[in-house]
Amino acid sequence: MDKQQPNIVLVMADQLAPQFTGTYGHPLVQTPHLDKLAARGSRFDAAYCNSPLCAPSRFSFMSGQLITRIAAYDNASEFPASVPTFAHYLRSMGYTTSLSGKMHFVGPDQLHGFDERLTTDIYPADYAWTPNWELADERIDKWYHNMDSVREAGVAVGTFQIDYDDEVAFYARRKILDYARDKTRPFCMVASFIHPHDPYVALQQWWDLYENEAIDMPVENIPYEQQDDFSKRLMDGIEASKVAVSEQEIRNARHAYYANTSYFDSKIGELVSILESTGQLENTIFIVTADHGDMLGERGLWYKMNFFEASARVPLVMAGPGIQHQQIANPCSLVDILPTMLDIAASKGSPKPELGQPVDGRSLLPLATGISESMDDAEAIGEYCAEMTADPVFMIRRGEYKYIHCDPDSPMLFNIADDPAEKNNLCGEASVAAIENEFRKEVAERWNSEKIRQDVIRTQHQRRAVHASMQLGAVHQWDYNPPRDASQEYVRNHMDWTVAAARTRFPPLED
């Protein structure tokens, strides 16, 4: 093993749209630590999630595969233990791997290749959140989004999300310090936070970064009757079509989101600081991204679950040895992270492992290091098979264009370069008829929509049956419970305290 293999630290936000960060040009939102990474690294300006929902997006990100390939349809789909992830591959390349924070693994395998998890997850690991495509118009009030997050936005001393992210950062920092103490292997750490995901509730210190009256309002608010077919279903599902929110409530929600974005950014700073103070920053590739974005009131929509830019785009910033300072316009997506990580691990000559399954992504390292200026096949593919629809929704982003298709709905085609707010659906216009036809043919060739629909319904039946039975009799939860043996921590009677002090001191004293 080449001991000079670079370390990898990947920081993931939840529901962070790049449009609402200073790094990507928002005039108000303060993200100084992400700004600094972008100032010495590569900022990808057309990065997308592969499904605009937490668990499916993360399963694609971990495996490098689209959700329909691994049946990662929704937030209660099991992530099979047989699917190789970048954590598996990096372990075989000599890395030690750890996860601090959220990954929304569903099923009994709660590691998926990581050597260890430092925290529990924030969301349940069972099948409780299974949608029902046979009753797609019925709300499941227990876990469906609604407008409460907007109406109740504001300030608090504490929330379960703040508790969680503080814990994620604490254990991530301490683990990085442990890696500095024991430099026998390169490491890959994923630190995954829940902010700025709703509820839109912020600590006072971050709320006070912004003047409420200065908060910008959504650019466009499309009335319900003028919405596209899928957006109408989405508005019904989150109750935006019948629960009115005031201008002040919208402003408060965006205010808290901006505050929580700055809070998340502070966690980036904490991790960069511990890497720097332990002398590991110069040999660490730092990656920041998110699982999906947040509409935040744009187009009259909230949260995610659609393929408009604020929901489907994600930040993607890479910095570290060999990474060039640049802005990259090529479309890409989270399935590209796995092959990128393998290229990083192999950059010092270490052989790559044989892939256990084909991956849908391609490495972004040639772009990030300046070896390649563009990618002829640059694209982002999206699939959505979860709540508030009864048919799969597909997205293709290639070149300047984005095409969105769902069998019962009218298709949508946007020129993102000319129309970043996606105000003009070009479908049916003669000037782009050939482009629209090519996208339509590609969707038909790439996906069998009805076959996917039937498979989604089949898995929903399976999961509902299993979940119902598991609530009876002896209940065994899959939620991850981090192991901890206090008898081996700090100073105990079976150890010499001077040895423990010397072993944990960093930097170590000279002999």
Q: Which residues are catalytic?
A: 54, 104
Largest alpha-carbon pair distance within the chain? 81
Contact call for residues 289 and 215 (beta carbons, < 8 A):
no
Contact call for residues 387 and 396 (beta carbons, < 8 A):
no
Q: How many CB atoms lie within 10 A of CB 392?
A: 25
Two tokens at 134?
A: 């046979």
- Of 292, 224, 228, give the one whose Cα is nearest residue 424: 228
User: Which three-class secondary structure state does DSSP give residue 362?
Assistant: coil
Q: How far apart are CA 222 and CA 301, in angstroms?
A: 9
Cis peptide upstream of residue 124 (ω within 30 degrees of 0): no
Give phi and psi for 398, each to the nearest 5: -145, 130
Long-range contacts of 69-72 (CB under 8 A, 24+ apart): 69/360, 71/455, 71/459
Q: How far apart are CA 107 and CA 124, in angstroms?
A: 10
The continuous run of DSSP H or E covering 51 comes out as: none
Q: How far apart are CA 59 and CA 79, in angstroms?
A: 7
Two tokens at 42?
A: 């590569």
Contact call for residues 118 and 482 (beta carbons, < 8 A):
yes
Compute the chain's Rg from CA coordinates.
23
DSSP string for 157-218: S--HHHHHHHHHHHHHHHHHHHHHH--SS-EEEEEEEEEEPSS-EE-HHHHTTS-GGGPPPP
User: Which three-class secondary structure state does DSSP give residue 254?
Assistant: helix
